[in-house]
A = this chain, B = another copy of it.
Amino acid sequence: MPRLEYWYEFASTYSYVSTMRIGALAGAAGVEIVWRPFLLGPIFAAQGWTNSPFNLYPAKGRYMWRDMERLCADERLPLKRPAKFPQNTLLAARTALTLAQPERAAFSRAAFHAEFADGADLADPAVVNALIGGLGLDIPMVTARAGSPDIKAALKTQTDQAATLGIFGSPSFVAADGELFWGNDRLEQALQWARRG
């Protein structure tokens, strides 16, 4: 089965939409998705941004939230703007990395839903613990692994690899031949590319 890597930052609004769409679309296309969470912060910092571009550039930020409202209405996805944006997603990304693919996808969907449908803060360990518990996983075990040096190193490697692949935003999709697609708007095109091989 052809594969497509799905690269996402938990703080990204448009990644909420693609996270909720990718399962059904990939299933219909016969493409296996490899879920690869990373941190956008270090990539933004390397180009001089210490905040989300949606906060740095207010006109762009106002537009993004309105665009998200229209997009979520079209996709019948609930949207609640979190009090804090962007969120510190270190804990969520590390937690996702402790999980094997099927659980990682389920955790990621639950985390994005908590953040953008319920307005919860993923930086709050209680929120993340509730997500882990909701998936029937062992909270102390997952939490311990998420804080381990191995997982910290794995997330750093993951983020370095994102930069090496040319990734500069989230969501991004990378096909087996290295072809890069950026943005929820390119999900269908990326799946089609992956399917063609």
Residues on A facing B (Cβ under 8 Å): 47, 56-57, 59-60, 62-63, 66-67, 70, 163, 166-169, 180-183, 185-186, 189
**Cβ–Cβ contact B189 & A70, under 8 A:** yes
A-B contact pairs, 6 of them (CB 8 A): A47-B56, A60-B168, A63-B168, A63-B180, A66-B180, A70-B189
Please measure, in the bound complex, the distance between the C-alpha atom of A182 and the C-alpha atom of B65, giving whole angstroms.
Answer: 12
Of listed A57, A59, A181, A186, residue having the most chain B CB within 10 A: A59
A163 neighbours in B (Cβ, 8 Å): 59
- For A183, the closest partner residue in chain B by CB is B185
**Cβ–Cβ contact B189 & A63, under 8 A:** no
Least Cβ distance of A159 to chain B in Å? 14
**Given A47-B59, A60-B169, A67-B182, 7 extra CB contacts under 8 A:** A47-B57, A57-B168, A59-B163, A63-B166, A63-B182, A66-B180, A183-B185
Least Cβ distance of A20 to chain B in Å? 18
